[in-house]
Amino acid sequence: MTSTQARHTRRAVLQSTIDAGARCATSDPDLWFRTDGEPQITWQARRGEAIRVCNGCPVRAACEELALRNGDGNHRVDDMVRGGLSGTQLAAAHAAQAERLAAAVDADRDTEGRLLDDLSIELRTQAGLNPDGRRNGGRLHQDANRTEQNLRIRALAASIRQIRTARRARTGWGVAA
């Protein structure tokens, strides 16, 4: 794999690393977010506890990198923790690494774009196939072919939907995945 290809597959690697080892996956997810109207004093205590858990998390570095690529955090709003950093710290880190992160996000999008193209082509190909084309297996075989084809089409459509939803969420069109 070239260094460019490695860069382009980085988001998927980061996400699967986090999925495999996130310490927060076994905790109350609310710990990492300030509730509406929560007083600073109680949030501060919970924020400290969330950061303590993050600092012992085996995938903290991957989590921080993905949060930065996703643009998590806000300079003006102290309402979350991700990857061991508060939302304001994430925003500051994002600003400090803006150039590097912009290139990384572009590479991520290139990867997704290519994947979407590949999935769309396969979906069109599958939808255009004649499941009864193989005549030597009889009726039962044709039914099995049809079922297999339908399952594949559904799986492809679900993958395309998932990627598009995540892309829309990143550009502010929906709730973040």
* Token code pair at residue 99: 């150039």
Helix (H) or strand (E) holding 160: helix 138-170
| Binding-site member from 8, 11, 14, 18 for ligand SF4 (CB under 6 A) | 18
| Binding-site member from 53, 93, 153, 166 for ligand SF4 (CB under 6 A) | 53
Give the Cα separation of 135 and 121 in Å (integer).
Answer: 26
Q: Quick one: which segment of 39-47, 52-60, 105-113, 143-151 binds ligand SF4 (CB under 6 A)?
A: 52-60
| Binding-site member from 14, 63, 91, 104 for ligand SF4 (CB under 6 A) | 63
Give the nearest distance from C-beta 8 to ligand SF4 in angstroms: 23
Give the Cα separation of 131 and 80 in Å (integer).
Answer: 51
- Looking at beta carbons only, is 77 or 155 nearer to ligand SF4? 77
**Which residue shows structure tokens 């297999």?**
148
- Please, which of residues 101-160 interact with ligand SF4 by CB under 6 A? none
- Please, which of residues 77-96 interact with ligand SF4 by CB under 6 A? 82-84
Examine residue 24 and tell whether it contacts ligand SF4 (CB under 6 A): yes
Give the Cα separation of 123 and 18 in Å (integer).
Answer: 29
| Binding-site member from 7, 15, 17, 22 for ligand SF4 (CB under 6 A) | 22
Examine residue 15 and tell whether it contacts ligand SF4 (CB under 6 A): no
DSSP 8-state assignment for residue 173: S
Give the Cα separation of 96 and 111 in Å (integer).
Answer: 25
Give the Cα separation of 70 and 59 in Å (integer).
Answer: 16
* Chain residues that interact with ligand SF4, rule: CB under 6 A: 18, 22-24, 32, 53-54, 57, 59-60, 63, 82-84
